[in-house]
Amino acid sequence: MALQGFGGVLPIAERVLVHQRRWMTPKEFVESLAIAQSLPGPNIVNLALMVGDRFFGLRGAVAAFIGMMAFPTVIVLLLTLLYQTYAELEITRRILLGMSAVSVGLIAGMGLRLCRTQGHYRAGWLIGLGVFLLIAVMHKPLGMVLLALGLPSFLLRWWQMRRSV
């Protein structure tokens, strides 16, 4: 997966784990991703560690970590050497611009697919809309948005989960 989705592995992980191998339901994937996002480090690496541990124990977690990091690290080092040589070329700028557009499309597509699992969380939709407006429209800093909406959304979800038990 690390090589398939270089720069955008999360949508590929979702496709493989949920749709191809059926190791997780869409809801389990969203919940695991939420935990992975709350931990320090790259989301996909955290998710890989969790899935590896869940299905194969410590050996699975180690294998998942090495699988997610080894080849991309080598590729990044090689690309760094190439970039130092060709950074000034117009084609380099265009290639990077195209790659960023593909990454945005992959992440947006995965987000839209996963939205179906969250249809019953109306407050979550309002908070998501608030985040979009604050960041994309009003250009507020991420730290301020996290303080303004992150803690309230965490507390709301915690309260909802306690109420449903």
State the number of CA atoms in the 13 A half-sphere of 70 facing the CB: 6
- 102-120 pLDDT, tens per residue? 888 877 887 787 777 777 7
What is the length of the chain?
A: 165
Torsion of CA 137, 138, 139, 141, to 10 degrees: -130
Q: Binning pLDDT at 50, 70 and 90, where does residue 24 land? A: very high
140: which 2 tokens?
A: 């507020």
Which tokens belong to 101? Answer: 């557009």
Task: Decide: 149 and 58 in contact? Cβ < 8 Å.
Answer: no
Tens digit of each residue's pLDDT (9 = 90 or more) over 63-106: 999 988 898 889 889 989 999 999 999 999 999 899 888 888 87
pLDDT value at residue 158? 82
SS3 138: coil
What residue spans define the domains of the chain? 1-118, 120-165
The DSSP call for residue 117 is G
**What is the spatial distance between Cα 64 and Cα 126, in angstroms, rounded to a whole number?**
35
Mean pLDDT of 127-145: 91
pTM of the model: 0.57
**48 touches 67 (CB < 8 A):** yes
pLDDT confidence band for 3 (50 / 70 / 90)? low
* Residue 104 structure tokens: 């945005």
Residue 71 CB contacts under 8 Å (≥ 6 apart), including other chains: 2, 3
How far is CA 30 from its chain centroid? 10
Mean pLDDT of all residues in the chain? 86
Structure tokens at 5: 């989705």
